[in-house]
Structure 1
């Protein structure tokens, strides 16, 4: 059961222009053919928990979808396209869903990412409803209420953060982060009609951080929802998100301290060298160091409703996903680096100069079979701490953290402190490939995009700074809210 039937609130939605009927969940359907009102649904603990579970389902679907799951790695150059099958046998072409974005030429009137934008704000509205109704529950303890609010606050912050990554220039784009951030919603549509304006980037990050800090004051030992603990936000995974936010904000001391806290106190340790490859290959459980992996949807019989394998998977020579590793990425790994074993090398028929030839393609093992969306894992925290330590001029810590990751991978250890900035950047690119970081890392470090192997875009390179490092606000949303300012260079 999922969250929010908006048909009775169409006028509100149209005015604000933030949500759409198609993207909103229907957690009010408690039984087939039986619907209740929002106030009835959220008047009981079970109703609120059903709604919260629905939010997780919506969030998983939103980040797992092609439009977001491939974005950072495709734009940054870790990914290229596999050849077509059937009537398009061997032909390399850009999937229609991301064609304009891939060429840094998305259009506001028909944006490839309009669904991501709309669904993200739908999720935020769902969180706000939970937050507005939970305190009034009479059948929940104060501890239970706090736990519910903690998770809703965290999801609200996470959704806003993802929106800011895609629709707002990186925090350091202007010296004081006075450039446009995003609309930050802290009230549901039930609170009435509003025409929200975009905050500055500085204000956006302050609100994200405030939500996360408030959430951390509320967490108890475990979620009240049924399912694997790693599928729901906890204090540890919320701190991991906060560390990522601080890193994006260039708040180096807080990024260092928060990542350090997660590393030392999360109760997890890095997956060992021996178990690293087999851990990723396990079809049923996440890697042991995973702080949060959103579970994939299954019906009552256990049938999978969708997973990242739809985009990255390989089954046979006539059944495989659209996205494979670029040679740009593969060439970064040393011969003895065990992470090279995370690729399935498969020969596929490819049309070259109108002749069908077999070429090798590299499918990632991270997302075969039925994987969930890996949101946070411990390796990232080591690399956050390393990057923050670099900016704090703690070179010994930088070397130690990078070498911890490299030692596990059997890669050559750093022996000096030269080019540490490049070392941190490249280690993130290798270790976190396909996990949604590269393009955001490029923007944060004010680097240029340079896509070589397999690039079939009109724009294979993009120099920083560029107005095209962010996507356009969907025109349909902008037209419904006169206070919503479009990103520069878009109509």
Structure 2
């Protein structure tokens, strides 16, 4: 993959800093000590707005990669377990990583939520996007095409951030018959518009806003490249459509999910990686797989250093240097012997404490995220599987079988010969193909399945029966106390 330069922004006036104590503020407004500029000054030129937009992308990358979000769906759903400690005081001992201690047992706490930072940073990203949207039309040194491109990217980022928050903090779309259960606060105004204390929308309204933002963005994209770096690192019309296909899938709008995924498959100009190159492309340094639609590439400082990547949770360097997360046997057992995707697991023996003795046990690290990998937001394989699931919803199981077999054929797995239990075949294909890319837990919730974690589970609770109030996390207490109109999720 390529890298962004790590660009900091500007500080703002004391008044706005005080506002930021109450609501999320914009990271792109921070600069070196001793200098200050106002929001108006920062965003009155195209260069300032583009610097701000680049900063928003940097924050999005950090939010989905550096916290718990990157592992959440796979660890909660049962694709991941933990590696043994290398610390001398706990050599070989396996413990739950401290950052997910509560949520892993489905007992996250509002006052010390394991996702508090993700919630805050998500709304910070939204606020930054809103600021850009509010100032872009007034730019005097940008063409209409450039303005439209800026607004399209900001709208897509705003929709994407809201969608991720909704996935974490709201029950799946069909939890109630009319999606009238609690969604999220959908913020379309920045701190520049003053303090507000909004209530949560329903899930139905939340999704309407998300869809409207993405549709507006799609109509604005001008194919104008404004930011430096590889094009796949920024939202464009194709990746916005890929996001919209995922949103439609989440709300089980089968017709629109099918049409949008089909559009991406037919018109993106991107093709599936072939079988011969599938493993080598995941293993290659500095570039994503060729079927990537959007990767949030990691930033580098001006000196060329990297602050972090997905190799932090997933990487293997040596027997004494490795990440916390490896594949469970629950996942590994799903692959057929000849399935080439089994080659994406790096088997390594690690010293593990068993009956008070250190013994070497084999662990399976993913090859998807070694070195300094970026965050895989969207790739073409997912669109085939979205189209397949939508086809099932539209009562076209044969078409779904064909799409599943495209993915299975590429993997050298046996092909489906009938449509018996096609829904489960599709669910399992998504679990295998998209493992560690942030889908499993949300797939479980969307399909109203129970959670059953077996291999390596050391939580107080290793499973949940659907429906459960614990399929969502608590809104951080700090935000509840700040906004009297913000209702907490039940059971927290």
TM over 0.5: yes
How many Å apart are 1:5 and its aligned residue?
4.2
1:409 is aligned to 2:411? yes
- 2:260 pairs with 253, 258, 261, which one? 258
Q: Distance in 2 between matches of 1:67 and 1:330?
A: 23
Partner of 2:48: 47
How many Å apart are 1:14 and its aligned residue?
4.3
- 2:16 pairs with 9, 14, 22, which one? 9
How many Å apart are 1:297 and its aligned residue?
1.4
Partner of 1:419: 421
1:70 is aligned to 2:81? no
Partner of 1:371: 373
Q: Distance in 2 between matches of 1:286 and 1:43?
A: 35
Q: Distance in 1 between matches of 2:226 and 2:66?
A: 26
Q: Distance in 1 between matches of 2:114 and 2:482?
A: 19
1:295 is aligned to 2:302? no
How many Å apart are 1:136 and its aligned residue?
0.2
Q: Distance in 2 between matches of 1:5 and 1:362?
A: 45
How many Å apart are 1:12 and its aligned residue?
2.9
Deviations 1:73-115 (A, max 9, x none): 0000000001110222110001111110100000001101000
SS of the residue aligned with 1:288?
A: coil
Q: 8 Å contact 1:3–1:126 — kept in the other structure?
A: no
Partner of 2:143: 141
Distance 1:189 1:273, change over 3 A: same
How many Å apart are 1:195 and its aligned residue?
0.8
Q: 8 Å contact 1:182–1:198 — kept in the other structure?
A: yes
Q: 8 Å contact 1:76–1:451 — kept in the other structure?
A: yes
SS of the residue aligned with 1:375?
A: strand
Q: Distance in 1 between matches of 2:197 and 2:11?
A: 22
Calculate the TM-score normalised by the size of structure 2.
Answer: 0.97
Q: 8 Å contact 2:404–2:429 — kept in the other structure?
A: yes
Deviations 1:40-94 (A, max 9, x none): 0100000000000000000000000231000000000000001110222110001
Partner of 1:459: 461
After superposition, residues 219-238 of structure 1 pair within 5 angstroms as 219-238=221-240
How many Å apart are 1:300 and its aligned residue?
1.1
After superposition, residues 249-288 of structure 1 pair within 5 angstroms as 249-288=251-290
1:354 is aligned to 2:361? no
Q: Distance in 2 between matches of 1:42 and 1:134?
A: 8
Q: Distance in 2 between matches of 1:388 and 1:470?
A: 25
How many Å apart are 1:26 and its aligned residue?
4.0
Partner of 1:165: 167
SS of the residue aligned with 1:217?
A: helix
Q: Distance in 1 between matches of 2:384 and 2:374?
A: 22
The worse-fitting range, judged by mean Cα deviation, of 295-304 and 458-467 is 295-304
Distance 1:160 1:4, change over 3 A: farther
Partner of 2:329: 327
Partner of 2:4: none
1:82 is aligned to 2:110? no
The worse-fitting range, judged by mean Cα deviation, of 475-484 and 222-231 is 222-231
* Unmatched tracts of structure 2, length 5 or more: 1-6
Q: 8 Å contact 1:72–1:437 — kept in the other structure?
A: yes
How many Å apart are 1:34 and its aligned residue?
3.3
Q: Distance in 2 between matches of 1:486 and 1:356?
A: 45
How many Å apart are 1:3 and its aligned residue?
5.1
Q: Distance in 1 between matches of 2:33 and 2:116?
A: 30
SS of the residue aligned with 2:368?
A: helix
Partner of 1:201: 203
Q: 8 Å contact 2:127–2:190 — kept in the other structure?
A: yes
Q: 8 Å contact 2:296–2:377 — kept in the other structure?
A: yes
Deviations 1:236-264 (A, max 9, x none): 00000000000001100000000000000
Q: Distance in 2 between matches of 1:4 and 1:444?
A: 41
How many Å apart are 1:307 and its aligned residue?
0.2
Q: Distance in 2 between matches of 1:64 and 1:91?
A: 26
Q: 8 Å contact 1:2–1:55 — kept in the other structure?
A: no
SS of the residue aligned with 1:222?
A: coil
Q: Distance in 1 between matches of 2:370 and 2:320?
A: 16
- 1:307 pairs with 306, 309, 325, which one? 309
SS of the residue aligned with 1:351?
A: strand
How many Å apart are 1:27 and its aligned residue?
3.6
Q: Distance in 2 between matches of 1:28 and 1:301?
A: 20
1:486 is aligned to 2:488? yes
Q: Distance in 2 between matches of 1:251 and 1:222?
A: 31
How many residue pairs align between the two structures?
A: 484
Q: 8 Å contact 2:66–2:308 — kept in the other structure?
A: no
How many Å apart are 1:37 and its aligned residue?
1.3
Q: Distance in 1 between matches of 2:124 and 2:52?
A: 13
Q: 8 Å contact 1:150–1:214 — kept in the other structure?
A: yes
Calculate the TM-score normalised by the size of structure 1.
Answer: 0.97
How many Å apart are 1:302 and its aligned residue?
1.7
Q: Distance in 2 between matches of 1:418 and 1:3?
A: 56
